[in-house]
Amino acid sequence: GQVSNANQIICNIDEIAAADGSMTSAEHDEWKSEALIWRAYILLKMSYIWGDVPVVTTIPPAITAENIEEVYDAYFPVRRPIGEVFDRIIEDLEYAAAHAPEVNTANKMLLSKAVANGLLARTYAEKTRQDWGKVASYCQKVEDAGFSLVDRYGDLWAYDDDDAARNTSESILEVT
């Protein structure tokens, strides 16, 4: 369902931009990037659980008795080998790392360039795509975006009525 939600944006953003007329190319790229980050994140989590998973990148047409044979595979896609899943994740995240919104330290709910770079580092740390040079490079990009470890580990789990422990320097993506 979440991959489908992301695909709704990814597959329709060009038509929305054309119909709207006021959407800038930067806004177009940011919206698309955020959806690509979300799809990549979900595919990565799915691959942790099941390994080979379907990689859906389209929105299937309405299914009817007349077209069931043609659209069946779009509704019930086959599992793709983990290597292909990671290829899609990397492709999505590389686009997003270039076009996603910049980090907003006051709002860590934003799917930013740092989120894309962090997920790329995590993807390249996986056994299927292990490349420690790329892991270090993408981690450096996250650090260059202003992220660092907090001084006190306990602050990561702290909570108070003023939300003092939210949006810390270590938090790349945070749902508050």
Average pLDDT over residues 155-170: 73
Res 160: pLDDT: 67
pLDDT digit string (tens) for 61-118?
999 999 999 999 988 999 999 999 999 999 999 999 999 999 988 888 899 999 999 9
**80: three-class secondary structure by DSSP:** strand
Query: Length of the chain in residues, anyone?
Result: 176
Q: What is the pTM (predicted TM-score) of this model?
A: 0.90
| Contacts (Cβ under 8 Å, ≥6 apart) of 84 | 55
Between CA 176 and CA 169 the distance in angstroms is 15
Res 81: pLDDT: 96
H-helix or E-strand containing 12? helix 2-20
